[in-house]
Amino acid sequence: MGALTDLENLAGELSQDGRFSKFGLTRPDPDIIRLQEEGRSVLVLLGAAMDTNRRLLKPYSRSLADFQARIIMLGAPTSVDVARAMELGVGALLRTDASTDELIVSVRQAFDFLAVKGRSKVRAQTVTRYRYELDEMIEIARALTTEHDIERLLDLILQKSRHITGADAGSMYIVEDSDEDGEKNRLRFKLSQNDSIGFDSAEFTMPLNQKSMAGYAACEKETVNIDDVYNLPSGSPYGFDRSFDERMKYRTKSVLCFPLVSSQGDVMGVLQLINKKLTPQVKLTEPGDFERNVVPFDDGSERLLATLGAQAGIALENAILYDEIRKIFEGFVRASVDAIEARDPTTSGHSRRVAELTLGLANAVEREDSGEFKELSWKRGDLREIEYASLLHDFGKIGVREHILVKAKKLFPENLSAIRQRFDFVLRTIEAETLQRKLEVIESGGTRDQLESLDREMHERRAEIETTWATIEHANEPTVLAEGDFQRIEELGRSSYRSLTGESLPLLTAKEVTSLEIKRGSLTPEEFAEIRSHVEHTYRFLSAIPWGKSFSNVAAIAGAHHERLSGDGYPNQLPAEKIPIQSRMMSVSDIFDALTASDRPYKRAMPVPRALDILGYEVKDGHLDAELVRIFVAAEPWLKVTGALY
């Protein structure tokens, strides 16, 4: 070949050369010969053309920058130095009289260079994508292992699965049983997500069989990957219901169903992804969008979903186990409350009301934006811990003797019955003595007036006994007695009667007198001390339960609800700074409910305003936290207490 100064002749010569025939040769510009192979281009041009047309290579700037094109320049331009030419993508600089042998070598080297660069770019993209996917999987794993709420976990699994696969929509199904033998025989549709359209979805169940893609994935523990659900493979056991698409003007196309399997190999649920998009950010709103932007789920998507699905299955299993443990725990707590209230029916509902009141106060305290509690924020689980401690604050009553626990009046029923029997004996004795005396009068020939006098005397003595009995019944009530009543009880304590053998016995025993002289309530000092001991029992019993890290303070909170800020509470006389704020809140609720409860047979319910006044007095006496009482009054949590009769 002679001098390569005429591109027209050169193009003709190359098209006749078999070595160049495998390249697609075109002339996109009079000053350029373009050779193509596997989407890459080598541009052959005269260096002199750069001197006359500086914008000659502008249409190829992107391809040159992305190493999709390379330049072979014949003769050096005078306006561009060699270094600049290399930056522009010049891979070879030949003489204008170079031979076709030299040209074919340069062309082959240029294509090889572009191929190497292309593979390097693919590897870099692969590494970048791998790092991105690895980071995503690590972040997803972290999120899945820290979320224990089943509803939020299912939403998170679906969201992350769609994100890493580029799915436009998706659904989550849970495998559950529907009969008494616990057989897993139905799928529950739990939730759905869709980036392109908005709609309200409701839960529903369907049989667990192979007639649906999700059911097939669950039954066979296999991944189902369909390119277009409108054109299912022949012989598919499952079908597709188009009613949702028709109603919502949507087009379900590619679908990927993956079973979520537990560590024991049990299918926990099915993850269904819909419509993998070429560009994840694009919304599918027009019919053409589904044809242009929806593609099948590829092997990479399946691998990613398999990795995530394995983690999700274990996470879902753990969440279900966690939820079962929580329900068992809550069942134990509520059964314990039922056991307490069964022993003391007079305070039925008290523990639950105190829990609701305390939670209401806790939420109100957290909302404070000024004052000493403005920085307070409950962590996750704190409110549950407060609820458990409040529900179980009287748990120690199971360690108090039942007859003292349920003692409604100053005398136990059997004690009052024994006194009544004594009074009945005295009355019968009076009647017997009167009859004897009347018989003697008759035998001695006495008059009617004498007999009537004996009857009047008997009736007077009977009336006196009944009046005395009324005094005892009145004194037996757990109310504050008048001073005269106390004196009368003391007098009765010195009274006596004679037994059938003639022995002189006290009408009231010393212990009965002590009980009837109780100034307030129904308990003697010894009985009151035993009732107070329930707090110590509460702490001891609750401390023996392995509450775990989340609820480690339940025993301490419940055990301090009778402590006072003044330091004279019980059982430990804790100073104010040692009393947990949770216990201080519970103290307010406990006192309020004790005052206002309408289910106590031994006292009337106190009106709310009067009860709030007493809380104020407790603050003045240094017993309750003034700020907590203020917040309690402002928040009015008693209005939201379930079934309250305040």
What does the DSSP assignment read for 518-566? -SSSS--HHHHHHHHTHHHHHHHHHHTS---STTTTHHHHHHTTT--TT
Mind listing the pLDDT tens digit for each residue in 214-239?
Answer: 999 999 999 999 999 999 988 899 99
CA distances from 405 to 334, 359, 416, 417, 528 (A): 20, 27, 18, 19, 10
Q: How confident is the model at residue 125 (pLDDT cuts 50, 70, 90)?
A: low
Residues forming beta bridges with residue 256, ordered by sequence position: 225, 273
C-alpha to C-alpha distance for 290 and 287, rounded to whole angstroms: 6
Backbone torsions φ then ψ of 276, nearest 5 degrees: -70, 130
Residue-level pLDDT at 3? 39
| Alpha carbons 589 and 390: distance in angstroms, whole number | 9
Q: Where are the beta strands (DSSP E) in 406-503?
A: 496-498
Give the end-to-end CA distance of the chain in Å, rounded to a whole number.
Answer: 110
Mean pLDDT of the chain: 86
**pLDDT tens digits, 301-312:** 888 888 777 777
Share of the chain above pLDDT 90, in %: 36
Of 85 and 551, the one with more pLDDT: 551
Check pLDDT > 90 for residue 391.
yes
Q: Which residues are CB-neighbours of 187 under 8 A, at least 6 positions away?
A: 173, 174, 175, 176, 205, 206, 207, 208, 212, 214, 215, 218, 270
Q: What is the pLDDT at residue 120? A: 80
Outline where DSSP puts E strands in 160-211. Answer: 167-177, 184-194, 204-207
Label the pairing between strands 267-277 and 294-295: antiparallel
Per-residue confidence band for 359, with pLDDT thresholds at 50, 70 and 90: very high
- Give pLDDT, residue 4: 43
User: What is the per-residue pLDDT for 153?
Assistant: 81
Q: Taking a C-beta distance cutoff of 8 angstroms, is the pair 318, 148 a contact?
A: yes
d(CA 455, CA 449): 10
Distance CA 195, CA 203 (A): 20
pLDDT at position 130 is 62
CB 206 within 8 A of CB 187: yes
Residue closest to 358 by CA, chosen among 588, 542, 611, 624: 588
Report the amino acid identity of residue 616.
G
CA 12/CA 398 separation, integer angstroms: 107
pLDDT of residue 230: 95
339 secondary structure, DSSP code? H
- The alpha carbon of 146 is separated from its chain's Cα centroid by a whole number of angstroms, namely 12
pLDDT digits (tens, 9 = 90+) for 300-341: 888 888 877 777 788 788 878 888 888 888 888 888 888 888
Whether the per-residue pLDDT at 1 is higher than 70: the answer is no
Q: What is the mean pLDDT of residues 13-25?
A: 86
How far apart are the C-alpha atoms of 336 and 330, rounded to whole Å? 10
497-526 burial code (b ≥16 CB/10 A, e <16)? beeeeeeeeebbeeebbbbbbbeebbbbee
> What is the band of 155 on the pLDDT scale with cuts at 50, 70, 90?
confident
3-class state of residue 241 by DSSP: coil
What does the pLDDT read at residue 450?
A: 87
Q: And the tokens for 30? A: 């009079």
pTM for this one?
0.63
Q: Would you state the pLDDT for residue 182?
A: 52
